[in-house]
A and B are shown apart, each in its own frame.
Chain A
Amino acid sequence: MDQFTLNLLFVGASFALYIGIAIWARAGSTSEFYAAGRGVHPITNGMATAADWMSAASFISMAGLIAFVGYDNSTYLMGWTGGYVLLALLLAPYLRKFGKFTVSEFIGDRFYSQSARLVAVICLIIASVTYVIGQMTGVGVAFGRFLEVDNTTGLLIGAVIVFAYAVFGGMKGVTYTQVAQYVVLILAYTIPAIFISLQLTGNPIPGLGLFGEHQASGEPLLQRLDQMVRELGFAEYTTHHGDTFNMVLFTLSLMIGTAGLPHVIMRFFTVPRVSDARWSAGWALVFIALLYTTAPAVGAMARLNITEQFWPEGVAGEAVSVETIETSPDYNWMLTWRQTGLLGWEDKNGDGRIQYYNEKSADMQTVASERGWQGNELTNFNQDILVLANPEIANLPGWVIGLVAAGGLAAALSTAAGLLLAISSAVSHDLIKGSINPGISEKGELLSARIAMAVAIGVATYLGLNPPGFAAQTVALAFGLAAATIFPALMMGIFSKKINNHGAVAGMLAGLVVTLVYIFLHKGWFFIPDTNSFTDADPLLGTIKSTSFGAVGALVNFAVAYLVAGMTKETPREIQELVESVRIPRGAGSAQAGH
């Protein structure tokens, strides 16, 4: 059986599994969409949260970013897990006690203001659309490879499938489907990692293998990797090169953003009890950590494997020949990935070999002129392909490659569809029914939800063709926006009785505007390519990149809110009592559907 059929088989089987579970769970329970969540055990809820949360950014993109940058991109690892500490300590139990289903409802009630609710909805929509753009980038990579077409075609086919999946909709809410998606996703991520870790270090646990010994050379794996990339003129893997201040800000933005994303927070509204909301955040992180402690190993080991494939005799020896690439089964992955347009090479000096090195390094330029190289001949290596290509690079069996295809699609599809559902309900329920046209019929509400979904996916697909960055980088921008708007409003709503309606609205607007403008200045207005005035290599403010600005936006939000609240009328008595009641678990009923 060829690889294409095998991939199709695995992807088809995984989809049949999700749909089967959805039908089974539907038939078995009469309770409605959300209410189903109330009876869910914290462990099950944690697993479902993990599936919802880990998207194309975590699955497809993150390890590639770590592989090609090394230590400096540990920010993604710390940022996307550290946010759960904030969620568990600062938000989850209190929002559960409050007992409504959506984030904007909490903000509307706590700040006793329709405009606060409206502003929150707008912030949520902007952050979610940006998030979907990142997902679509990942969807394009996954479908391009899996259907063996170029990236653009893959993206367009993927968009249609995501749309159908989201419209089919209801199954997304069924916790057990998400549990199945988590299982597929985590197996697809860890099984190849275990194989590769065994090959390289003899240790079956990739997280331990990363700090273990490289069996072929007898040196520690990380030392071996550092040495190889250094010899090719690249920055050392384990050392710090970038700007420290920006690294701190970026990590903080990702952490705060995690705790401000609506589709994650919503999960904690539906657990049975306040104490369960605390446990749930912990269990979610357990299941996320399984992937997140594997990812750095995947990155480092893939970087080592790739480097060794291009320099089979070591850097001092000859590079791999074009003939080997085109004929040897070990290099088959390069031919299949070239079809997607995300990988490319060119024998510039016509010596029949492909020299892969850092042509920008001064030392390497000397070496190159001595050895007759005319520039780096691995002309294109899109970092987003690394995780999907990884099992092929390591020559793992065909079924592992099929499994990874199924896992990557599960990650991208589930999160993209979930976000589309969140966007459509925000537009139809909160925006149109909540304020513009309260008398809208149920049919009209449903229609506007569909239209919102179609518009969102259209925009995301268009921008996904020319994405503002790799999948994980675009997703990081969405986190910055959530960090600058929603998290501060929620936190102040719980921990400060002083913040009133005007303070919250002014704070959220200030956070949103400064962050959005800063991102657009660097990534192009509305992410349209070539409309930017600055680049992240040389940012407007010091060393602060646009991906890191969320933390600054959050600070602006807090400051403006306190300032405005101090100048305007005090929070009414009944709202102060509401805050008091949110702070203690006693008296928590089950969550109530919004009006």
Chain B
Amino acid sequence: MSEEKSNNAYWSANIRLIVWSLVIWALVSFGFGILLRPLISGIAVGGSDLGFWFAQQGAILVFLALIFFYAWRMNRLDRDHGVDEQ
């Protein structure tokens, strides 16, 4: 595989990962936290509902998980495609 091609595969894998991560990022904040809150308001969480929990706490926890997952996955991707720092 040529250097050029390998980089392209690396970059598109990265873009795919970014897009999926951002979908989750938007889903927990703009989705569950704001726009979809009425849909999931039946699920009670300690004195309020699931949407309130996502807006005040849940979204932040998911953001954390996302960043660490991305870092772990990308560092592995770097090695698989031979573009990691040596």
Contact = CB atoms under 8 A, between A and B. Distances in A.
A224 B63 CA distance: 30
Interface in A539-595: 580, 583-588
Nearest to A97: B85
A222 B47 contact: yes
Contacts of A211: 45-48, 53
A333 to B, nearest CB: 26
Nearest to A279: B71
B70 A278 contact: yes
Contacts of A244: 34-35
A130 interface: no
Contact of B59 (A81, A226, A278): A81
Contacts of A292: 60
Contacts of A580: 7
Contacts of B56: 71, 74, 77, 210, 296
Nearest to A586: B83
Contacts of B55: 71, 74, 77-78
Nearest to B84: A585
B78 interface: yes
A444 to B, nearest CB: 40
Contacts of B66: 85
A320 to B, nearest CB: 26
A279 B83 CA distance: 18
Contact of A240 (B37, B74, B78): B37
A71 to B, nearest CB: 6
A77 B60 contact: yes
A289 B61 contact: yes
B64 A247 contact: no
A585 B29 contact: no
Contacts of B29: 78, 82, 251, 255
A84 B66 CA distance: 10
Query: Chain B binding site: helix, strand, loop or mixed by DSSP?
Result: helix
Contact of B33 (A78, A90, A207, A274): A78
Given A289-B64, A586-B84, A278 B74 contact: yes
Nearest to B53: A211
A89 interface: yes
Contact of A584 (B7, B22, B49, B57): B7
A535 interface: no
Q: Which of B33, B37, B47, B84 has the most CB of A within 10 A?
A: B47
A238 interface: yes
Interface in A204-260: 207, 210-212, 219-224, 226, 238, 240, 244, 247-248, 251-252, 255
Interface residues of B, number: 42
B64 A585 contact: no
A282 B21 contact: no
Contact of A74 (B22, B33, B64, B84): B33
A273 B55 CA distance: 34
- Which secondary structure characterizes the binding site on chain A? helix
B49 to A, nearest CB: 8
B67 A588 contact: no
B3 to A, nearest CB: 10
Given A90-B18, A248-B34, A586-B85, A238 B48 contact: yes
Most-contacted residue by chain A among B10, B25, B33 (CB, 10 A): B33
B14 to A, nearest CB: 8
Q: Which of B10, B78, B85: most chain A CB closer than 10 A?
A: B85
Contacts of B33: 74, 78, 251
B86 interface: yes
A88 interface: yes
A247 B57 CA distance: 17
Interface string A72-97: 00100110011011001110010000
Nearest to A222: B47
Interface string A276-289: 00110110011001
Nearest to A209: B46
A240 B25 CA distance: 21
A212 B48 CA distance: 10
A89 B78 contact: no
Nearest to A272: B85
A318 B30 CA distance: 42
A251 B86 CA distance: 39
Contacts of B47: 211, 219-224, 226, 238
Nearest to A281: B67
A85 B33 CA distance: 16
A89 B22 contact: yes
Given A78-B60, A85-B63, A90-B18, A247 B71 contact: no
A158 B20 CA distance: 46
Contacts of A240: 37
Nearest to B75: A275
Given A77-B56, A89-B22, A580-B7, A282 B67 contact: yes
A190 to B, nearest CB: 15
A224 B48 CA distance: 11
A69 B84 CA distance: 48
A395 interface: no
B82 to A, nearest CB: 8
A307 interface: no
A293 interface: yes
Contacts of B14: 583
A278 B14 CA distance: 13
Contacts of B37: 240
Contact of A585 (B30, B34, B68, B78): B78
Interface of A: 71, 74, 77-78, 81-82, 84-85, 88-90, 93, 207, 210-212, 219-224, 226, 238, 240, 244, 247-248, 251-252, 255, 273-275, 278-279, 281-282, 285-286, 289, 292-293, 296, 580, 583-588
Given A580-B7, A583-B11, 4 more contacts: A207-B57, A211-B45, A238-B52, A275-B75
